């Protein structure tokens, strides 16, 4: 049976890479997709990964009806075997409902990729609706790491390397932005709670928060 599948994880855990891999594998089998995205780091109408891979995509606008788009494409004689949606957290809840309708009414698989919570640890509306509707939710197995080496579970917004906890929910940026710019960093829950980024923690040297390795002397 066709499914609405939500692949979720923190930033930097390979969501877009997996989306591109799914497209590659199915294209090699002769299947054709519709790829939706919104606010990708590579610019409008692109699906890109930090590994440098990129493909064209349909940029989703605020009032866009995703179900109607797919129906119109099929009605014009286009072929659609499945749908991929990247940056799904930025979609409106009613657009997630439209994706569910693509699955239920058109019998197409929909693979949605996105982060679950914002820099304040609050659910994105699109991600919340996906958690409510998805047939299956998959946590990505490629673990992003906090600067301390622990598993990263939270996304932090930074300005000049300093973590901020106020502002608009959506501000486009990326991990590894230059000092002084708005960017993002993935942190473990402990260091997100303490607002300790790599820059503010002085992570270039051994932090007291990092447990020593048995048998190794500093």
Report the distance separating Cα 194 and Cα 75, nearest Å: 54
Residue among 28, 107, 38 at smallest CA distance from 70: 107
Note whether 159 and 199 are within 8 A (CB). no
Reported as half-sphere exposure (CB side, CA atoms, 13 A), residue 1 has a value of: 7
Q: Which of 3, 44, 59, 87 is catalytic?
A: 87
Note whether 181 and 173 are within 8 A (CB). yes
Note whether 198 and 187 are within 8 A (CB). no
Report the distance separating Cα 206 and Cα 218, nearest Å: 9
Catalytic annotation present for 185: no
Report the distance separating Cα 21 and Cα 114, nearest Å: 15
Query: Which residues are catalytic, by number?
Result: 87
């Amino acid at each position: 049976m066709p499914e609405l599948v939500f692949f979720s994880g923190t930033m930097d855990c390979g969501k877009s890479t997996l989306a591109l891999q799914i497209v590659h594998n199915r294209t090699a089998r002769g299947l054709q997709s519709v790829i939706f995205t919104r606010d990708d780091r590579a610019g409008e109408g692109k699906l890109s990964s930090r590994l440098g891979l990129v493909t064209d995509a349909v940029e989703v606008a605020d009032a866009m009806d995703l179900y109607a788009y797919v129906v119109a494409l099929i009605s014009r004689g286009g072929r659609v075997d499945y749908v991929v949606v990247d940056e799904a957290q930025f979609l409106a809840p009613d657009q997630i409902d439209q994706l569910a309708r693509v699955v239920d009414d058109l019998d197409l698989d929909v693979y949605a990729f996105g982060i679950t919570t914002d820099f304040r640890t609050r659910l994105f509306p699109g991600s919340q609706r996906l958690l409510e509707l998805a047939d299956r939710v998959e946590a990505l197995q490629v673990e992003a790491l906090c600067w301390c080496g622990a598993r990263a579970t939270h996304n932090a917004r930074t300005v000049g390397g300093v973590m901020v906890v106020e502002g608009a929910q959506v501000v486009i940026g990326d991990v590894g932005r230059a000092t002084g710019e708005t960017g993002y960093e993935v942190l473990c829950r402990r260091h997100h709670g303490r607002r300790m980024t790599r820059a503010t923690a002085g992570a270039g040297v051994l932090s007291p928060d990092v447990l020593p390795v048995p048998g190794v002397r500093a």
